[in-house]
Chains A and B, each alone.
Chain A
Amino acid sequence: MTTLPTSTDRKLGLVIDLDTCVGCHACVISCKGWNTENYGAPLADEDPYGADPAGTFLNRVHSYEVQPETGATQLIHFPKSCLHCTDAPCVTVCPTGASYKRVEDGIVLVNESDCIGCGLCAWACPYGARELDAAEGVMKKCTLCVDRIYNAHLPEEDRVPACVRTCPAGARHFGDFADPESHVSRLTAERGGIDLMPEQETRPVNKYLPPRPKDRLQEQVDILAPLLAPVSEDSAGFFGWLDKALDRLPGAPSKDETR
Chain B
Amino acid sequence: MHPAPSVILFTVMSGAGFGMLAFLGIGLPDVTGWVAFTFFAIAYVLAVGGLMASTFHLGHPERAIKAFSQWRTSWLSREGCCAVFTLLVMAVYGAGLVFLGTRWTALGFVGSFASVLTVFTTSMIYAQLRTVPRWHSPMTPALLLSLSLAGGALLTGQEKAAIALLVVAGAIQIMAWLKGDGALTASGSTLASATGLGTASTVRAFEPPHTGTNYLLNEFVHVVGRKHGLQLRVISFFLMIVLPIGMLLLPFSHLFAALAVLSHLAGTAVSRWLFFAEAEHVVGLYYGKRTT
Interface residue? A182 (CB, 8 A): no
Chain A residues contacting B188 (CB-CB under 8 Å) are 199
Within 8 A of A (CB), among B94-139: 125, 128-132
Using a CB–CB cutoff of 8 Å, the interface residues on chain B facing chain A are 1, 57-61, 63-64, 66-70, 72-77, 80, 125, 128-132, 187-189, 191, 193-198, 202-210, 212-216, 218-220, 281-283, 286-287
Assuming the A-B contacts A57-B210, A128-B286, are A117 and B220 also in contact, with contact meaning beta carbons closer than 8 angstroms in the complex?
no
Q: Quick one: which of A96, A124, A194 has the most chain B CB within 10 A?
A: A96
Chain B residues, CB < 8 A from A195: 196
Q: A64-B205, A200-B131 are in contact. Are A97 and B283 (CB under 8 A)?
A: no
Give every chain A residue within 8 A of B287 (Cβ-Cβ): 62, 128
Chain A hits for B69, CB < 8 A: 95-97
Stretch from A134-142, A236-244, A246-254 at the B interface: A134-142
In the bound complex, residues from chain B placing their C-beta under 8 Å from that of A201 are 130
How close is A23's CB to chain B, nearest CB, in angstroms?
8
A52 within 8 A of B: yes
Contact indicator A65/B59 (Cβ below 8 Å)? no
Contact assessment for A93 and B130 in the assembled complex, using a CB-CB cutoff below 8 Å: no
Pick from A60, A128, A132: contact of B210, CB under 8 Å? A60
- Known: A116-B66, A131-B215. Is A66-B198 also a contact (CB below 8 A)? yes
Give B59 Cβ to nearest chain A Cβ, in Å. Answer: 2
A150 contacts the other chain (Cβ, under 8 Å)?
no
Residues of chain B with a CB closer than 8 A to A42's CB: none
Query: CB distance B64 to A94 under 8 Å?
Result: no
A92 within 8 A of B: yes
Contacts of A13 in B (CB 8 A): none
Contacts of B64 in A (CB 8 A): 116
* In-complex Cβ contact of A66 among B67, B131, B197, B281 (8 A): B197
Indicate whether A232 reaches chain B with its CB closer than 8 angstroms: no
Query: In the complex, A80 Cα to B128 Cα: how many Å?
Result: 24
Known: A116-B66, A120-B76, A126-B130. A68 touches B59 (CB 8 A): no
Q: Which 9 A-B pairs have the closest CB atoms?
A: A117-B59, A137-B59, A60-B209, A95-B77, A128-B283, A95-B76, A95-B67, A96-B66, A131-B215
With A96-B69, A127-B286 known to touch, is A54 a contact of B206 (CB < 8 Å)?
Answer: no
Contact with B along A189-210 (1 / 0, CB 8 A): 0000011111111000000101
User: Once bound together, how far apart are the Cα atoms of A201 and B129, in whole Å?
Assistant: 12
List A contacts of B74 (CB < 8 A).
2, 92-95, 120
CB atoms of A199 and B195 under 8 A apart: no
A124: chain B residues within 8 A (beta carbon)? 128-129, 131
